Structure 1
Amino acid sequence: MIAMKHVKSLKELAEDIELVALCDINIENMKNVLTLWNPSSDIKLFTDVSLFLQSDIDLVVIATSTDSHVGITKQALEKNKHVLVEKPLSLSMEEARELHQKAEETNKIVAVSLQTRYLSQIQAIVKAKQTGEFGKLYYGTVTVRWNRNKEYYGKSPWRGTWGRDGGVLLNQCIHYIDLLQLLLGDVVSVYGVGGTYRHPIEAEDLGMALLKFANGSVGIIEGTTTVYDKNLQTSLSIFGENGYVALEGERLDDFKYWKFKNQNEMDLEIQNQIEEISHTKMYKDIVSAIRSGSKPYVSIETTLKTHEIIFAIYKSIQTGSTVTLPLERYSTIENMDK
């Protein structure tokens, strides 16, 4: 349950963040959270989200099925709450933009849980880009070669459906597509291929795409949950005229290559910064943004682009043609019965 990962990070920040209420239609889920947090705490429990949102809450964390994200986020904004919503934000481009507009109108933060951005190793690559170490950027690649078994999809019947969830690109690959966009910039066109190969689901369990960026660089995406019989590889690579970097490992915690014209080897400081993915830095950033009235690193403004790329790939797979951005409209429901 993804909510437990959030709670673990919140517990690390217990001196700065108070967990005041939980809401779930499953009482046992909330009891599990209480056990992890503090069984004797006086956290309020709700099964009705409307009553839950009447509580004295600053930040609402939404870790429900994807199809419910938009509705709960709107309700929270209407009650003047800041929101952190699990990825993906929505199943349609129009609804994602509506949430952005609603956040602006209410002057509240809507952040999307793309916590991989905060990794020290990712920030080292961002810094290398900002300081010109790469020179002209040529291309970048992401690979997500994972296994998801029938129990994974069977445990939650909404998984892998077009109406409630989407496939491997929108769920497993979204963090890494987000990093590609973060490092290479705005995308101008995409061409995608994909389909359902192994699992009895509606959405794709294998997807690939070729991206063209505004700066002239190219991106390659490969994502699948069909690998037998366990996760095989996750990687991110960026290549430029004066150097290249490559991260591997399921959590991108292995600097496979770090080579630049002006650097003989990776700085020891960077090697010592490599860390595992967690939500803690993201929460620190969001709390700071709430207090200062600024925007967090994963604000809806910056994460909309990632969703737009994936929706454009879906549209390309559906139509068999190249799709240019910006993408005016798209919903995963368009893929139902295709």
Structure 2
Amino acid sequence: MIGCGMIAMKHVKSLKELAEDIELVALCDINIENMKNVLTLWNPSSDIKLFTDVSLFLQSDIDLVVIATSTDSHVGITKQALEKNKHVLVEKPLSLSMEEARELHQKAEETNKIVAVSLQTRYLSQIQAIVKAKQTGEFGKLYYGTVTVRWNRNKEYYGKSPWRGTWGRDGGVLLNQCIHYIDLLQLLLGDVVSVYGVGGTYRHPIEAEDLGMALLKFANGSVGIIEGTTTVYDKNLQTSLSIFGENGYVALEGERLDDFKYWKFKNQNEMDLEIQNQIEEISHTKMYKDIVSAIRSGSKPYVSIETTLKTHEIIFAIYKSIQTGSTVTLPLERYSTIENMDK
């Protein structure tokens, strides 16, 4: 694992659940104390190797590199890991430009190695229940879907890591907080053909947007609505995902999307008891099990880079729309968040 800050702890918690199948063998961070914190959570008496130099770290005998560093470093470290014949799981977002994201995809294909993006919300049982309902035609014709992220992030959040909220190193609420939910919208409604976005910086002393909204048109004729913000006055207020079709609708709420507000279909008026019993909180555990299985079988995990490129493309297209004030069509030939630095 490279990067042993706050998000790394969530990974380690899931890795501990799979300790019989996954061995944590090396850590890398410029901050020794961060690595010690991970060791404490994993096993203080373990013989995990500690590195402050990525190049030396990558010489270790490891199968999978987990990258949990600042966004601007994801591309460079992923390239280095692939060159050393390692599989990679990289924290979201994958990159700060469309060109670099596609370049990593090509590199993964050339090296025949897995590059996976940490979009673990896809694995939730309640999300998979909706995916199944779509696949079996329960919705009928899809009309529209919405995602809402009404969150609070305080001064301490941005101040603790000065790179947060910058165009050159991070991006804003859409690329960071909203990416999981935008990914689910794309997963359920399909390919996007155009976007129109509005947004800006309203509350926080950051470069990137802390409020972003967008209207999406999908290839199947359906429409998507995105609302994302970290400006809510005092606390996280609401997170939701809703999908509407001619024969039914589903709505999930809660920061972990673990509250089924609505589940109604023409041929199924009540939620199946099995689905109710499977509702779970977000974790990385299922994602790691899937990645390990893919490494062993030579297949691709559910969050492989080729399946997640579309989500990044949607967000970059929204950024371009906000920047230009115009509707942006997909596929998006090129885009980098750095383009916003002079705006």
* TM above 0.5: yes
Please give the secondary structure, in 2, of the residue aligned with 1:170: coil
Distance 2:8 2:47 in 1: 19
Distance 2:340 2:273 in 1: 48
Please give the secondary structure, in 1, of the residue aligned with 2:198: strand
Aligned-pair distance for 1:269? 0.6
Q: Which of residues 78, 94, 100 in structure 2 aligns to 1:95? A: 100
Aligned-pair distance for 1:337? 2.2
- Deviation sequence 1:137-179 (CA, Å, 0-9, x none): 0000000000000000000000000000000000000000000
Q: Is the 8 A contact 2:168 2:338 kept in 1?
A: yes
Please give the secondary structure, in 2, of the residue aligned with 1:229: coil
- Deviation sequence 1:304-330 (CA, Å, 0-9, x none): 000000000000000000000000000
Distance 2:253 2:269 in 1: 21
Distance 2:13 2:257 in 1: 20
| Alignment partner, residue 138 of structure 1 | 143
- Deviation sequence 1:238-269 (CA, Å, 0-9, x none): 00000000000010000000000000200011
Distance 2:18 2:278 in 1: 20
Runs of 4 or more above 2 Å deviation = none
Please give the secondary structure, in 2, of the residue aligned with 1:302: helix
Distance 2:12 2:271 in 1: 34
- Deviation sequence 1:39-94 (CA, Å, 0-9, x none): 01000000000000000000000000000000000000000000000000000000
Distance 2:34 2:16 in 1: 17
Distance 2:269 2:187 in 1: 25
Distance 2:256 2:67 in 1: 23
Distance 2:258 2:269 in 1: 21
Distance 2:72 2:299 in 1: 28
Aligned-pair distance for 1:20? 0.4
Please give the secondary structure, in 1, of the residue aligned with 2:281: coil
| Alignment partner, residue 283 of structure 2 | 278
Question: 1:24 and 2:24 equivalent?
Answer: no
- Deviation sequence 1:92-150 (CA, Å, 0-9, x none): 00000000000000000000000000000000000000000000000000000000000
Distance 2:278 2:146 in 1: 23
RMSD of aligned residue pairs (Cα, Å):
0.3
Instruction: Give ranges in structure 1 of 5+ residues lacking alignment.
Output: none
Distance 1:264 1:111 in 2: 37
Aligned-pair distance for 1:272? 0.6
Count of aligned positions: 338
TM-score, scaled to structure 1: 1.00
Question: 1:241 and 2:246 equivalent?
Answer: yes
Distance 1:4 1:25 in 2: 16
Aligned-pair distance for 1:296? 0.1
Distance 2:306 2:17 in 1: 27
Q: Is the 8 A contact 2:211 2:229 kept in 1?
A: yes
Please give the secondary structure, in 1, of the residue aligned with 2:175: helix
Please give the secondary structure, in 1, of the residue aligned with 2:174: helix
Q: Is the 8 A contact 2:263 2:269 kept in 1?
A: no
| Alignment partner, residue 204 of structure 1 | 209
Distance 1:318 1:337 in 2: 11
Aligned-pair distance for 1:32? 0.2
Distance 2:102 2:25 in 1: 30
Q: Is the 8 A contact 2:95 2:101 kept in 1?
A: yes
Instruction: Give ranges in structure 2 of 5+ residues lacking alignment.
Output: 1-5
Distance 2:151 2:228 in 1: 8
Q: Is the 8 A contact 2:71 2:95 kept in 1?
A: yes
Question: 1:216 and 2:221 equivalent?
Answer: yes
Please give the secondary structure, in 2, of the residue aligned with 1:231: coil
| Alignment partner, residue 254 of structure 1 | 259
Distance 2:103 2:300 in 1: 18
TM-score, scaled to structure 2: 0.98
| Alignment partner, residue 117 of structure 1 | 122
Please give the secondary structure, in 2, of the residue aligned with 1:226: coil
Distance 2:314 2:306 in 1: 14
Distance 1:116 1:124 in 2: 13
Q: Is the 8 A contact 2:147 2:185 kept in 1?
A: yes
Distance 1:125 1:217 in 2: 16
- Deviation sequence 1:3-34 (CA, Å, 0-9, x none): 00000100100000000000000000000000
Distance 1:38 1:94 in 2: 40
Matches for 1:116-195 after TM superposition, within 5 Å: 116-195=121-200
